[in-house]
Structure 1
Amino acid sequence: MYRTHTCGALSIQDTGKTVTLAGWVQTIRKFGAITFIDLRDRYGITQLLFGEELNRQLEEHPLGREFVLQAKGVVVERSNKNPNLSTGEIEINILSFTVLNQSATPPFTIQDDTDGGDDLRMRYRYLDLRRNAVKRNLELRYAVSRSARNYLHENSFMDIETPFLIKSTPEGARDFVVPSRMNTGQFYALPQSPQTFKQLLMVSGYDRYYQVVKCFRDEDLRADRQPEFTQIDCEMSFVDQEDILNMFEGLIKRIFKDIKGIDYTEPVERMTWEDAMWDYGNDKPDIRFGMQVANLKVPPHVYLSRQQTIPKTPVGEGGFKVFDEAETLVAISVPGCSEYSRKQTDELTEWVKRPQIGMKGLAFIKCNADGSFKSSIDKFYTGEQLKLIATAVKANAGDLVLILAGPEERTRKAISELRLEMGKRLGFRKDNEFKLLWVLDFPLFEYAADDNRWVARHHPFTSPRPSDIDTMIAHSPAIEDAAKYLEHPYANIKANAYDMVLNGNEIGGGSIRIFQRGLQEKMFAALGMSREESLHKFGFLLGAFEYGAPPHGGIAFGFDRLCAILGGSESIRDFIAFPKNNSGRDMMLDAPSTIDEKQLEELAIQLKTIDQTSL
């Protein structure tokens, strides 16, 4: 037996017991004729006391950091207790020890505040995983998985695995493809999600399915993306949208309770996609704080139902060319910031000019406590006119109005980012505060101007909202005049879809699915697929719909992202045992890598050099 207890198990109640521990040497501290060693394993740290006789052995055969050690001794009370350790009241008076394995000097310190950079730690990830900070993240990940599985099991969901080697049907992100040796010149694809398989399981009668499943997308990476990621993937039969929302509100509330001790009893707020875009500038708003977007000017063809709600202000009336000629003019009122200095407003202007924000400048109005107004656009507008603008933005005395002008899509995205940035600077976005939101009624289609056709906003298996099904069936998707695409009936069809948002992050999305062959064929046709193409790509699904497919719908949660938010991190990499870097490389394995000629010959693949500058 290598050990009788773990390094986090012993307490003052174990005093007098003879125990055997095994683990890694964390620190070594010599005090004259005695030596203290902190021994670490997955469960904690225990202090070992080596007396005079054993200390001589250590001098003859020194230990080093990360040596694997087995030690037998008696539990005694510590004279200098450490309240920061669960074992801090005791130590082990060592009787004998064995070095199970030596260690080279680690390339970085195995501590929370390590001296290793990202690339170095990813290269030696097996050492990085020994650090408590990383261990806590993986423990949280496991706890979230366990909580979700327990809830789904209690609600009659069945965990069913689906294949990883499937057919490539490129839609949206690029597929990762896998050559087949037995079928020369043909390829599998790794699934971007188990979407069609879970629908087929509904056809098969497994009315409540789930999987905690790996998915693969060949796309550019960022903090919340990895080429392989994990979903909590779920599907249900004989349900409508309300059934789905209620079931999976319960799932997330259960996770909050189990992981954070939060009893989230309040109803989850619901918001339409159009309201989210109008009031917050994006479709995943952080509603932990206010500071809603004020729309002072928008293109006449956008948000048709909102045009009459735009407040009357002097903007666009020949006072200031930048405002007059802008397609969109939006603003936020930042509470209590009217005393910002010139240096601070200049810094905000530079912030919105950054390439990732993409604006040419920023205008501001300071709503002073005495009722006066000071602005970067003073020479274009009188005090009364500035007051009209501030009133339209619902600014109060002491507030700072920030205004952006420019093209619709870019400007709306920029004001959303600026709102989030100001919320962060003012402490409104707290890691320990959680706010859920359902966003509903997304457009079913988006118009792709380059191809003059409709594309699916979610995926081609999403059903229209029930009230819009007849509109979709009755009209052709053909767009006669590209300039008038917003007048086409398809532009106003809403999807029977829903996203769950947590603190400004989309953590889950799903829809009620199409389950009748005729409607599914109509959807494929609307997306520009010929009958032959739809049969080639999805003939198996269309065929299945002829054999009694039930109404069904589902949702998929971004498991890595959910864990990161619960753990207070912006990067999902921190919650994945062996992640890729921002270039999609595994620094530890040095992958991807070349394969040898024999493998290429077996796969009947010949490589050729491509001029990267032309890509």
Structure 2
Amino acid sequence: MRTHYCTDLNENNVGEDVTLAGWVNSYRDHGGVIFIDLRDKTGLIQLVCDPADNEQAHKVASQVRDEFVLIAKGKVRKRGEGLENPRLKTGKIEIVIDELTIENRSEPMPFTLGDENVGEDIRLKYRYLDLRQKEMFETFQLRSKAAIAARNLLDSLGFLEVETPILTKSTPEGARDYLVPSRVHNGEFYALPQSPQLFKQLLMVSGFDRYFQIAKCFRDEDLRADRQPEFTQIDVEMSFCTQEDVMKVAEDLLKAMFGACGYEIKTPFNRITYRDSMEKYGNDRPDLRFGLELVDVIDLFENCDSPIFAEIAQYKKLNRIKALKVPGGDKAFSRKIIKELESFVSKFGAKGLAYIQVKEDGLKGPILKFLSEEAIETMKSRLEMEVGDIVFFGAGNKKTVLDYMGRLRTEVAKRMNLIDENRLEFVWVVDFPMFEVEDGEVKALHHPFTMPKNIDEDDVEEIDSIAYDVVLNGIELGGGSIRIHKLDIQRKVFEMLGIDEEEANEKFGFLLDALKFGAPPHGGFALGFDRLMMLLTKKESIRDVIAFPKTQSATCLLTQAPSQVDEAQLKELGIRIRKQPKTDAAQ
């Protein structure tokens, strides 16, 4: 239907007869001569419809409006002197039209393409129009290149692409499952997979050795900017491997994908242990584009005159007192800003925000009166305090303090413009604890199929796992682990998680059976593809890198899903809708 895409043409094509197809980007009538900017996926080119050249084509052009679909035949010519458009790739040429066909008309658009003030609800309702924008096309062009680069790299390393089931068995993996009722097996349900975790382990038992998949995953959980109910991950598993082998493949994969999108990254990545990351940055996904490390000062408060701080300091395992030195912060932060920072951390459990200012004439701050001269001198040395600095302190329960001080670190960096948005800082977080204890209940920190390092350790919180996460600029891209391939270890882990043999066999029987038949040592990782593309394209939300995303309430404004279904369909499935009682707020 076409001979060229719009921007395939240049001065070398002058004199050629061409056929183009696309949408009307803009339309201008200059005293009888009509100019049309035609748009396709490559960009724009100018069409000229002059009644002196072709009266019929001009007649058709007079009916054209924005977003009409056209097929245009004509001859390439140079633009007149002084009429070139340097903003267009095709700005030195134009097409003199001999024949013009309106292939389809468009109603007035619900919003103007490129208007940054259009609300996201309108953009998502008319997503097919939103995707016409050049920036959106370029985003998905990059996504395609990254996916192809991933496939090519993994294929070159001997990985086999295998698709795993979408309809599977519900298993406890942290988030709620999306359930699918079975018509054939009335009263029973499939689940949509939260990940292909169990199936890729079974493929290793099958002897496939190296597997990958760009997999759809589903989780019925509360949403954020970087979450969707359905998302894509690049899933990789390999046999007879060590942690080092797996991490090398992940680094090679990321290097290939970023390279395909125009970014050169250096490998190997830096590494930090989980415990060091928590203590220095307040979380297990450190942003290393700036300093501002948290420093432990709990020992300096053991004998202080404040009963509150002194009591906190008596229980070092359960509590923390952390200092955050901000170079130049005393000059940058007014009392108003300090109050704003105090209000900020209070939202995350802080009961206050003590601070010390380093002035020309010495240290200033209410907290100083509780500390001995020796403790103050040690603090000055440990924090390398200099005139103009400010030091913030967080004290209390370990988990709460690390959380809000880590958030404070990032907030301070933003306010002081310390974050280089063009910098890519990858880091591996390694040596994760195998378990975490919440309200007396033992839970797997990653998942229950992760290989523990020291399973016979008496203190469950001191058992480490062979697990690793890869983090970019404070955002977790993905992670993985070496898996349990021995039945006795897997059963012991289930036992520690409070999963008895009957429950284990009911939920994971097929995996446990597979481990009886010569399961090889194996491990792998998964990368969040949507999240990765969000970072690559510098978008604020993964909704901008998914073609047809859901809203934060897990609805599709385009198709109006989820929706009610016919009563007959429900009857076939043996399902009856029970009306939820109205709450006081809804009445």
Range into which the TM-score falls when normalised by the shorter chain: over 0.9
Contact 1:330 1:404 in 2 (8 A): yes
Alpha carbons 1:365, 1:402 under 8 Å: kept: yes
Any conservation in 1 of the 2:198–2:511 contact (CA below 8 Å)?
A: yes
2:389 maps to 399
Per-residue deviation, 1:33: 2.3
Q: Once the two structures are superposed, what CA deviation does each residue of 1:521-577 show, in whole Å capped at 9, x if it has no partner? A: 111111111111111111111111111111100000011001111111231111000
Task: Give the deviation of 1:124 after TM superposition.
Answer: 0.5
1:506 shift after superposition: 0.9
- Deviation string 1:566-601 (CA, Å, 9 cap, x unpaired) is 111231111000000010000000010111100000
Q: Which residue of 1 aligns with 2:327?
A: 335
Contact 2:16 2:76 in 1 (8 A): yes
Asked whether the 8 Å contact 1:373–1:383 carries over to 2, the reply is no
Q: 1:85 to 1:402 in 2, by over 3 A?
A: farther
How far is the alpha carbon of 1:291 from its aligned partner? 0.8
Matches for 1:152-551 after TM superposition, within 5 Å: 152-262=154-264, 264-297=265-298, 310=299, 312=300, 317-319=304-306, 321=308, 327-339=319-331, 340-353=333-346, 355=347, 357-368=348-359, 370=360, 372-375=362-365, 377=367, 389-449=379-439, 452-465=440-453, 468-469=454-455, 471=456, 488-551=458-521
Letter in 2 for 1:134: M
Which residue in 2 is equivalent to 1:307? Answer: none
CA–CA distance in structure 2, aligned partners of residues 316 and 38 of structure 1 = 77
Q: Within 2, Cα distance between the matches of 1:259 and 1:60?
A: 39
Aligned residue type for 1:341: S
Q: What's the TM-score, normalizing by structure 2?
A: 0.93
Aligned equivalents of 2:40, 2:22: Cα separation in 1? 5
Do the aligned partners of 2:48 and 2:95 also contact (CA within 8 Å) in 1? yes
For residues 37-96 of structure 1, the C-alpha deviation after alignment (integer angstroms, 9 at most, x for no partner) is: 111111111111222456894588532211101111111223433333222222212222
Query: What percentage of residue pairs aligned between the two structures are identical?
Result: 46
Question: How far apart, CA to CA, are the structure 1 residues paired with 2:335 and 2:546?
Answer: 43
Give the match's secondary structure for 1:253: helix
Partner SS state of residue 224, structure 1: coil
- Going from structure 1 to structure 2, the CA distance change for 1:500 and 1:60 (only over 3 Å counts) comes to closer
Once residues 94 and 383 of structure 1 are traced to their aligned partners in structure 2, the CA distance between those partners, rounded to angstroms, is 87
Q: Is the 8 A contact 1:24 1:67 kept in 2?
A: yes
CA contact (8 A) 1:460 1:523 kept: yes
Q: CA RMSD in A?
A: 2.3
Cα distance change of structure 1 residues 219 and 293 upon mapping to structure 2, 3 Å threshold: same
Displacement after TM superposition at 1:125 (Å): 0.4
Alignment CA distance shift 1:243-1:98 (3 Å): same
What SS does the corresponding residue of 2:259 show, helix, strand or coil? Answer: helix
1:316 CA displacement: 6.3
1:288 deviates by 1.8
1:461·1:513 contact (CA, 8 Å) conserved in 2?
yes
Does residue 21 (structure 1) correspond to residue 23 (structure 2)? The answer is: no
CA distance in 2, matches of 1:510, 1:379: 48
Aligned equivalents of 2:527 and 2:393: distance in 1?
35
- The one-letter code sitting in structure 2 at the alignment partner of 1:445 is F
3-state DSSP of counterpart to 1:267 = coil
In the alignment, residue 95 of structure 1 is paired with which amino acid? D
Q: Partners in 2 of 1:78 and 1:383 — Cα distance?
A: 80
Q: Which stretch of the first structure deviates more once superposed, 150-159 or 113-122? A: 113-122
The code of the aligned residue for 2:46 comes to Q
Distance 1:50 1:360 in 2: 72
- Whichever residue aligns with residue 35 of structure 2, its letter is F
Q: Distance in 2 between matches of 1:518 and 1:385?
A: 51
Shift of residue 346 of structure 1? 2.5
| Matched AA of 1:128 | D
8 Å Cα contact 1:122/1:128 also seen in 2: yes
Shift of 1:104: 0.6
Unpaired segments ≥5 residues, structure 1? 298-309, 473-487
8 Å CA contact 1:69, 1:101 repeated in 2: yes
Paired with 2:238 and 2:105, the residues of 1 have a C-alpha distance of 53
Point out the more displaced range, 10-19 or 385-394.
385-394
